């Protein structure tokens, strides 16, 4: 997959020798615009120096104007806040009390706090690297990978992991949406006939056959805003209802499994659950790409402001739910805390409905980069014409596939642990650090160097250990599961 007008694997060299009249830093109407640079340099120094200009062909401009990630760059800073909240807070927060029961008080609290700090740090790195090359924006995760590791290697390192993450998350959200819909139905209509989970997943999936045709991130800001509000709402309901319920009689904070092997596997699964909860980095650059940028006001300023607000919201959602939920229910808490709460019925039903609204937005946030990859591949590599029919067919097929897999394998807890460790750990915990070291080359044994290597070490350990427990849980749950029940 090529980058536009520049070889990001070589040392940075301008593609042409501009004059004072043509010296600009301009991609096109959807990128940088800085036509004052030549004048400023000439006035201050009397010398005109070459400044890189990334020239796009008419075909490339047309493609960029159509693709989801580059078709609109007029987002406000607060857009990034609720996009990031929607991307991060979701199914993961509901599984945090269960993860605490697998990890125990000490390791659980340590893992939660460390994950919050490390992921905020790696997210800051990605925001900073978005415009590290003057005049160029890395609008996609894989473009940053190509710059750091080389054209081909960067593509193969990032794209498979990013696709695994985003597709897996959408599958998990299909399951989460279906389960929450079923829980809502069962609470408000206790005398109704039992309906299969498969049908609720289909109902949830049908919404995305409509919403998936919104063209880009800015077009789904309303959906994302509603989802962000819902996430804070149902998180508050989860911990407040737990407080109201009170600590359960004979609550037990020991490990769930009576065997040593079971405890070890549960511990590893808990690591994956936490990793899943703190992962939203796979769409960070794509979100930042929707924010306008100039040489005077680069996008990293408003993006970072939005990220800080988002992380405050994340803390307000995660820590109370995780700690209070575990404190109240101990090792008997369900893998989705709302399943442990039965009263007040109307409040728990409302919380489940809020979850449905939120994961609708989360699904779209994670699906948009996949749509971008698919559509870019079809029009750039396979030379399909840019038509609404192409987009309509491609996106509907994607929604149908994720819905089918979700119906077939609705192992919510196991999926969190497996996907969290296997896919989220690299893209969230250590890949940004590896890129930072490759690009900036900080002084050996300096603070930056040591910090990044600590994050890399912890991320690799998480990637290796967490999927083991998640895979075991999937196997155990699959033994008693009847397909399409």
Residue with tokens 């609008």: 139
Let me know if residue 32 belongs to a domain.
no
Q: Which domain holds residue 114?
A: 57-479
Q: The CATH number of the domain where 180 resides is what?
A: 1.20.1740.10
Please list the pLDDT of the chain residue by residue as tens digits (485 residues).
444 444 433 433 333 333 333 333 334 333 443 433 444 434 444 444 444 555 667 877 888 888 888 888 888 888 888 888 888 887 678 889 998 999 999 999 999 999 999 999 999 999 999 988 887 889 899 999 999 999 899 999 999 888 888 888 898 889 889 988 998 998 888 888 888 889 999 999 999 999 999 988 888 888 989 999 999 999 999 899 899 888 888 888 888 888 888 888 888 888 877 877 887 788 889 899 889 888 888 899 999 999 999 999 999 999 999 999 999 999 888 877 887 887 788 888 898 899 999 999 999 999 999 999 999 999 999 989 999 999 999 999 999 999 999 898 776 556 655 666 677 788 888 899 999 999 999 999 999 999 999 999 998 988 888 788 767 777 777 666 666 66
Q: Which tokens sit at 432?
A: 């940004």
Q: Is residue 159 part of a domain?
A: yes
Is 440 part of any domain?
yes
Burial class (CB in 10 A: 0-12, 13-18, 19+), 159: middle
Question: CA 279, 284, 286 angle in degrees (round to 5)?
Answer: 135
* Host H or E run for residue 28: none
Backbone torsion region of residue 344, taken as left when φ is above 0, otherwise alpha when ψ lies between -120 and 50, otherwise beta: beta
Whether 14 maps to a domain, the answer reads no
Measure the CA–CA gap between 322 and 146, rounded to whole angstroms: 37
Residues 6+ apart with CB under 8 A from 402: 167, 170, 171, 174, 205
What's the CA gap between 215 and 64, in Å, rounded? 12
Let me know if residue 3 belongs to a domain: no
CB 19 within 8 A of CB 160: no
In a domain, 195, yes or no: yes
Domain assignment present for residue 6? The answer is: no
Q: No. of H helices and E strands in the chain?
A: 19, 0
For 349, phi then psi, to 5°, come to -60, -45
Domain count, the chain: 1
């Amino acid at each position: 997959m090529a980058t536009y007008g520049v070889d990001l694997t070589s040392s940075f060299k301008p593609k042409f020798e501009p004059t004072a009249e043509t010296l600009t830093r301009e991609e096109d109407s959807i990128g940088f615009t800085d036509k004052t640079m030549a004048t400023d340099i000439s006035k201050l120094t009397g010398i005109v120096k070459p400044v890189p200009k990334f020239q796009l062909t008419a075909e490339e401009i047309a493609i960029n104007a159509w693709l989801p990630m580059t078709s609109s760059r007029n987002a406000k800073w607060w857009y990034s806040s609720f996009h990031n909240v929607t991307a991060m807070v979701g199914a993961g927060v509901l599984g945090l009390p269960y993860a605490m029961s697998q990890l125990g008080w000490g390791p659980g609290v340590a893992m939660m706090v460390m994950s919050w700090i490390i992921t905020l740090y790696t997210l800051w790195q990605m925001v900073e690297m978005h415009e590290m090359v003057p005049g160029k924006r890395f609008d996609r995760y894989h473009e940053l990978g190509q710059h750091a590791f080389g054209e081909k290697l960067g593509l193969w390192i990032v794209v498979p992991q990013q696709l695994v993450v985003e597709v897996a998350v959408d599958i998990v959200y299909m399951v989460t949406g279906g389960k929450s819909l079923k829980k809502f139905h069962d609470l408000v209509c206790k005398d109704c006939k039992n309906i299969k989970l498969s049908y609720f997943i289909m109902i949830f999936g049908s919404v995305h056959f409509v919403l998936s045709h919104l063209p880009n991130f800015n077009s789904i800001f309303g959906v994302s805003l509603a989802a962000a509000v819902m996430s804070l709402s149902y998180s508050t309901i989860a911990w407040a209802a737990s407080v109201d319920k009170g600590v359960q009689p004979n609550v037990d904070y020991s490990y769930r499994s009576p065997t040593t092997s079971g405890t070890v596997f549960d511990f590893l699964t808990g690591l994956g659950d936490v990793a899943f909860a703190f992962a939203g980095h796979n769409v960070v650059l794509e979100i930042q790409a929707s924010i306008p940028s100039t040489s005077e006001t680069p996008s990293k300023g408003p993006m970072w402001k939005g990220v800080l607000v988002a992380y405050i919201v994340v803390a307000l959602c995660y820590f109370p739910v995780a700690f209070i939920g575990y404190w109240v229910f101990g090792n008997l808490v369900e893998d989705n805390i709302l399943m442990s709460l039965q009263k007040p019925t109307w409040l728990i039903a409302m919380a489940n409905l809020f979850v449905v609204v939120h994961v609708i937005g989360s699904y779209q946030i994670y699906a948009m980069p996949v749509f971008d990859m698919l559509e870019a591949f079809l029009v750039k590599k396979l030379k399909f014409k840019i038509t609404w029919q192409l987009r309509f067919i491609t996106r509907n097929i994607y929604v149908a596939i994720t819905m089918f897999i979700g119906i077939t394998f609705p192992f919510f807890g196991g999926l969190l642990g497996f996907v969290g460790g296997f896919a989220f750990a690299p893209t969230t915990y250590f890949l940004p650090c590896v890129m930072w070291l490759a690009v900036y080359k900080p002084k050996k044994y300096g603070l930056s160097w040591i910090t990044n290597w600590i994050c890399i070490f912890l991320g690799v350990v998480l990637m290796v250990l967490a999927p083991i427990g998640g895979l075991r849980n999937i196997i155990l749950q699959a033994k008693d599961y009847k397909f399409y029940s």
